[in-house]
Amino acid sequence: MRLVPVWALRPGMRVAKKITGSGGAVLLNAGVKLEMEYIQRLKKLNIRGVYVHDNLIPDIYVEDVILDETREKAVSLVKDTLTGIKNQENKKYTHFISVKKELSNLLDDIVGQLLSNKNLTVNLSDIRYTDDYTFGHSVNVAVLSIMTGISLGMSRSALKDIGLGAFLHDLGKVVVPLNILNKPDRLFEDERLEIEKHPAYGLNLIKGRQLFNGPTLSIIYKHHERMNGAGYPQGLNGDDIELYPRVCAVADVYDALVSDRPYRPGFMPHKALEIMEEESTGYDLNVMQTFYHHISAYPVGTIIGLTNELIGVVTHNTHGYPYRPRVRIICAREDFAPLESYEIDLLEDLQVAVDRVYHDHELPEHVINRDLS
């Protein structure tokens, strides 16, 4: 299966991974054959891509690092939690006890699934409905933070703490007006300052309830602080920022970069990593390097150009080596002449590297639709 942008979808393609809309409603189930009306509907909803069964890698299924049902449950629970805390801040204390217990049980599942995964590498793009950005983003940041914490040697209890903080890190955004959060144009100065208040808003919503510990509170309040002092809300730097928010900061900015936003489309993973490298003085270097071990610069299904003048499609990524995928060769680079399919592993052939990523519209039809089964 391969992620195909919505503009490149054609009637007759078969959905490989179900697509959900706002509130978790299923838009299209896996196995559905696309019709033009479905494609038009996806465009109107600003869904950027669909995983389809594809001739280039018909034998490859891209797995998430956690179970699909776990991710869906997490997005739903985080949505209920964030809106519930906002709406019930002055109501019964028992509500918060119930919320924390549900989140704790869910984190047990997520931590267990990630600890048992032998190749913790993110290959799957999160096809997210625009209105659910904050909730899907919070779940992604939690998963990415826990994965990083595992490689940092954190205890199971610490992994749950960092996951809980990540679930709630953008809690304060429920107070920020939607017309500012979803503004498609450049923010005015007062609007930017309002968004920068969301860490303080989040802290105010839950502090004093004696249910959330120090790590959770520090993530909520400090995930936008930067090691070089260029962050907010306090402009802290270095050791004034605890490890938990340092981890969450890296996961947060990466997921924000690869996600579609009202003011720009999401960056491809390799480009997001480049941007983070340019801003590396703002992050804990050890955390950032550890985080990179779990990211695929070129996720499975990405069509890439190689320095040996060949073009191929990524079939596998190995934990710890974000830029050295296994590649199924499909054609020559000079004239797109088809070649007999074979695979090379860039972990073994160190003389070859990736030097370009191709989008569907940049390749001839005979390349995209070639049958390699």
Rounded Cα gap, residues 179 and 191, in angstroms: 10
Q: What's the Cα-to-Cα distance from 77 to each of 113, 205, 304, 331, 362, rounded to whole Å? A: 18, 18, 37, 46, 40
pLDDT of amino acid 369: 79
pLDDT of amino acid 144: 97
pLDDT of amino acid 96: 67
First-residue to last-residue Cα distance in the chain: 12
| pLDDT single digits (tens) 48-67 | 889 999 888 988 988 899 99
Taking residues 271-290, report their average pLDDT.
Answer: 97
Sequence-ordered list of residues with C-beta below 8 angstroms from that of 37, at least 6 positions apart, any chain: none
Residues 246, 148: contact at Cβ < 8 Å? Answer: no
Candidates 144, 164, 166, 162; CA nearest to 154 is: 162
pLDDT of amino acid 94: 61
pLDDT of amino acid 93: 54
pLDDT of amino acid 252: 97
Taking residues 110-122, report their average pLDDT.
Answer: 92
Q: What is the mean pLDDT of the chain?
A: 90
Residue 22 predicted with pLDDT over 90? no
| pLDDT single digits (tens) 175-189 | 999 999 989 898 999
Residue 350 predicted with pLDDT over 60? yes
pTM of the model: 0.92
44 confidence band (pLDDT: 50, 70, 90)? confident
Domain boundaries of the chain, sorted by first residue: 2-52, 68-292, 303-368
Residue 259: how many other CB atoms lie within 10 Å: 21
Q: What's the Cα-to-Cα distance from 182 to each of 186, 191, 194, 264, rounded to whole Å? A: 11, 11, 13, 11
Q: Which fold has domain 68-292?
A: Hypothetical protein af1432 (1.10.3210)
Residue 127 predicted with pLDDT over 70? no
Residue 318 predicted with pLDDT over 80? yes
pLDDT of amino acid 97: 76
3-class state of residue 123 by DSSP: coil
Percent of the chain beyond pLDDT 70?
A: 94
Taking residues 363-369, report their average pLDDT.
Answer: 86
| pLDDT single digits (tens) 195-232 | 999 999 999 988 766 678 899 999 999 999 999 999 99
Q: Does 233 sit behind a cis peptide bond, omega within 30 degrees of 0 on the bond before it?
A: yes
pLDDT of amino acid 208: 67
Rounded Cα gap, residues 102 and 157, in angstroms: 16
What is 2-52's CATH number? 3.90.105.10
